[in-house]
Structure 1
Amino acid sequence: MVAHYLEFERPIADLEAKIEELSKLSETAGPGAFDAEIEALRTRAQELRRDAYSNLDAWQKTQVARHPDRPHFVDYCATLIEEFQELRGDRAFGDDQAIIGGLGRFRGRPVVVMGHEKGRDTVTRVKHNFGYSRPEGYRKAIRLMELAERFKLPVVSFIDTAGAYPGIASEERGVAEAIARSTEACLMLGVPNVAIVTGEGGSGGAIAIAGANRVLILEHAIYSVIAPEGANSILWRGARTGADAAKAMKITAQDLLGVKIVDRVIPEPPGGAHSDPETAMATVGDVLEEELSGLEGLSADELRKRRADRFYAIGRSGLQ
C-alpha cells in the first residue's frame, strides 16, 4: 500500500524514499551493504516524526484527524469487540451504514457499541456515505440505546464524522429531529456510556451519539461545531483560510480538555494513530476498560446526574 504523507511530513517522506531506494540497492549489492546507512536514515526519520508530531498546530491536527489511514470504527470493532453482532435498521425507514452498531463483548464485558464509519476506498466510502449519517442512522442509534437500557448494558460510541448528511432527502426525513432525539437518548440513559472521538467530531452529527458520562478524545483528533473550512466560509466569506479558522475555534484535544468539553486525552503513538494502528487501538482499549470500570455500580439516577453535571460544567473553568 502506498503511504499517504501530509504536507508537513514531506521531509519524512524524502527520508523514507531514500530508505526504500537503499533497500532495493542492497538486494543487488549483497547482504549488509547499506545496513548502516539505512539504520541511520531510519533513526533520523523517527526523530523527525517525533519532533513534527510534538509541535502540531490546529490545522495540522485537523489534517491528521482526517488521515485516511487512521483506524476506523470497523478496525476498533474488529480489534476490541468480540462476538460482535451487528444490528441494522431503524424500524422506520431503512438502514444507514454511516453509523454501525450492535452487541458484543469488550474484554469479556457485554456492551452495546456503535460508531461512525467513513469507509476506506471508493466502494466503502460510497457504502458508508463518507461517514455522513442520515436520520435513519440516528434512529438506529436510539434503538440501540433503548436496547442497552432494557438489558442494562453499557454503551460505547466511536465518533468520526464531519457532520450529519445535509442533503434534501435527509432534511425531508427529519434529520434535525433525529439528532435531537438521539442526543436526548444519550443524556437520559440509565446505564454507563463512554464516547471516544477518534478522528473528526463534527457538529450535531457527532454529539448525537456523544452525550456520554465520559467523553474521551485521541491526542490528534478534533471536535468542533463546524469544519474549519465551513467556519471560514460563514464568518469571513472565504477571505481567510481553514487554518485560520482552526486556530480561532480551539478544536484540538488539548484546547477542548481545558474547557471541559472532553474529559480525557488518549495519547497516540509518535507519528499519529495511522503510523501504528495496533498500538493506538490497544491504548484506546486500555483507557476504555478503565473508564467503564469507574462507572460500574452507579445507579441510573447517579449516572444521569453525573452526565448532567459534566455538560453543565463545560466552559465554566474560564469563568471562575
Structure 2
Amino acid sequence: MPNSNLEPLFSNPLFLSFFACILAPMVVLGTNSNHFSEYIGAQFKEVKFSDVPINSGVEFHYILSFAIDYSVVSTPPIPSNGKFGVFWDTQNLSPSAVSAIKKKYSNVKVAVSLGGATIVSDKYKVYFKATSVDSWVSNAVSSLTSIIKEYNLDGIDIDYENFSDESDTGTFTECIGLLITTLKRNGVISFASIAPFDDTLVQRMYKALWAKYSSVIDYVNFQFYGYDADTTVKQYVTYYDEQVANYPGGRVLASFMTENTAGVISADRGFSACQELKKENKLYGIFIWSADDSLSQGFTYEKESQALLTS
C-alpha cells in the first residue's frame, strides 16, 4: 500500500523534474583538457618510449599497436576467437621499457590497442570474428589479462576496422562491451577507448557499441585524419561537432597523423584545427598517429600539441 505521506511529493511536477535530473546520466560538456595520446610500435621503426618528448603538464597515454587475436603461424593466418598475442615492436617496447617510462614520468600511462588496420603475412587483413560471445569474451579476458600484467599496462583501446560479418553489430557490441566491463571490474584496467573513423560500416559497429556500453568507455579516439586532404579547418571543426553528436556524452579527442600520406588531412591542417577547437573551448584532448612516423621528424607536432594543451 502506498505511503500517503509521499503521495503529494511524487505528484509535484517540480520534484519529478528534479528527480529525473538526478537519475539522468552525466553528460560530459565540451571543454578544454590536457589529455594527450600517442600510438606507438605498429610500424617497427625502432622508436622508443624515451624518444618521445613528454610535457609534465599533460595526461600522457602511450597506446601500443597492436594486439591481435589471430594465429599468425597458420597459412593463411586465421582468427583465434579472442586469444590475443602481441604484434608490435617488442624489442624496443618491452615490459621493462614500459616500467621505465612510467617510473620516470608519473603522468604517463600505457594502453594496448586491439585489431587495427593490421596486415599479417604481408597480405591478410585482421578481422573481428567471434565463434560466440561467451567463448570470445572468456578467451579475450584471459589472454589480455596476461599481456596487461606482463607489460604493466593501464588500459585498452578498441581499433577493429574490419569485420567478418558486416551485418552483425550485436556480437561486436557484446564482445567488446563485456570485455571492457570485465577487465574494469577485475581491476585489470582503469580506462578504455574506441577508435572509429568516418566509414559507414565502422560507424555502425561503434555507434551500436556506444549506445549500450558508453558508460565503460572513457575516450573516443576518432580518426579525423581519415578525411580528405582538402578539408579546411572550419570543416574539421564541423566534423568534430558531428562526432560529438554521434557519441553523445563522450570525450572525443581531436587527431592527426604525422605520416606524409597523400589524400588525407596533413599534420599542419590537423594541428591548426586543434588550435581552433582550443579557442572554442572544446579541445578535450589530442591523439597522434604515430610516434613511429614522428621519429624522423624530431617529434615537432608532439611538442607543439602538448604545449597547446597546457597553454
TM-score greater than 0.5 by the shorter chain: no
* Shorter-chain TM band: 0.3 to 0.5
So what's the TM-score if we normalise by structure 1?
0.36
Q: Normalized per residue, which structure has more helix?
A: 1
So what's the TM-score if we normalise by structure 2?
0.37
